[in-house]
Amino acid sequence: MRRIHVMAAVIRRADGSILIAKRPDAAHQGGLWEFPGGKLEEGEPRLDGLARELQEELGIHITNARPLIDIRHDYPDKSIRLDVWSVSAFSGEAHGAEGQQVRWVAPQDLGQYAFPAANKPIVLAATLPQRYLITPDNYDADQLITGLGVASGLGVRMVQLRQTELSQTDYANLATTLMAKTGEAVMWILKGEQPPLKGSGWHVTSAQLRELHAVGWCKGKRFATGPSLLQSADELERRPECEETWDGLLAASCHNAEELQMANDIGADFVTLSPVLPTQSHPGAAHLGWDRAAELAAMANMPVYLLGGLSLDDLERAQEIGAQGIAGISGLWPALKPR
């Protein structure tokens, strides 16, 4: 099978819109939209190759870029490495220099365009934020709303509601209250044994990930009703299923290459990878370190948030090794005290 290294770019204008281009009808995956770029020449530095392709295709010169996501995808006739960078500044007027159709699109409208299968994680990476806030335990609704207001002012848009001391009922009630108060300003990612409220995502623990993988469940499949989704395969077959499938944003906690593959298998949209550095809660526990985190992020094939011992000061380094950004509690949560 042929292996091809392709550079691609998520190019943003000052208004936040993203440039996409339409593939010629006669080309591989012709007629579909894509993120501009092209093949990396042998021995060519990655950023140099991207700059060359964008100058040839669009007539622009990169002035600020960073790695965004690295994807491997196998087609029947070839294996593609999509080496995707985020371009936040450039000179020149972008146009279809090779006669291709180009279009500036709002990030929330990318889903209206048909992309090659390998581009699906890129579309998600282009729309997900750089910071994934996890709430601390033992906060009531008022304290959380106050903290979220501060965090929102600092640019936080995606939040995992982590309240381990609450019953499932109390947790659901709190989530409902917070979602109503924050509206569309916050992308909520909830915890629990089953897919959560509509309008929110679901973050599964590494233990849940392993059990979901063991019973063969993946996003888009129906799931068994009852107190727990995490049953044996035989039990899952015997129990009644919900009439509707769940297709919200699915996240998973991962700590190694095996779990990253499981996350891919169940159709996770993004993962957290931890612990990168020693943490206050587990000071003596083994941690990945930056080099291993970079290796794992490169094989994930989906957006990765690095977690564990990190702060906003580490965001740039995380992105330099190909992570979507960072996740955390103490490193991102405003300085408020629990009740």
Residues of the binding site for 8-oxo-dGTP: 23, 28, 34-37, 119
Per-residue pLDDT of the chain in tens (339 residues, 90 and over written 9): 788 899 999 999 999 999 999 988 767 777 899 999 999 999 999 999 999 999 999 999 999 999 999 998 787 888 888 999 999 999 999 999 999 999 999 999 999 999 988 788 999 999 999 999 999 988 889 999 999 888 888 788 999 999 999 998 999 999 999 999 988 889 999 999 888 878 899 999 999 999 999 989 889 887 665 444 444 445 545 444 454 577 789 999 999 999 999 999 999 999 999 999 988 766 777 899 999 999 999 999 999 999 999 998 999 999 999 999 999 998 888 755 554
Binding residues for Mg(2+): 37, 57
Fold assignment, 2-119: Nucleoside Triphosphate Pyrophosphohydrolase (3.90.79)
pLDDT tens for 184-214 read 889 999 999 888 878 899 999 999 999 999 9
**Could you tell me which residues are annotated as the binding site?**
23, 28, 34-37, 57, 119
**Residue ranges of domains in the chain:** 2-119, 131-328
- Strand 131-134 and strand 33-34: the pairing is unpaired
Which DSSP string corresponds to 114-140?
---GGGHHHHHHHHS-SEEEEPPSS--
Phi–psi pair at 173, nearest 5 degrees: -65, -45
Integer-rounded Cα Rg, in Å, for the chain is 21
Question: How many other CB atoms are there within 10 angstroms of residue 65's CB atom?
Answer: 19
What's the fold here for domain 131-328? TIM Barrel (3.20.20)
**DSSP 3-state assignment of 81?**
strand
Our separate counts of H helices and E strands in the chain read 9, 15
CA distances to 32, 271, 281, 304 from 163, in Å: 43, 19, 16, 23
Number of neighbouring beta carbons within 10 Å of residue 108: 9
- Residue 330's contacts (CB-CB under 8 Å, 6 or more residues apart) are 136, 280
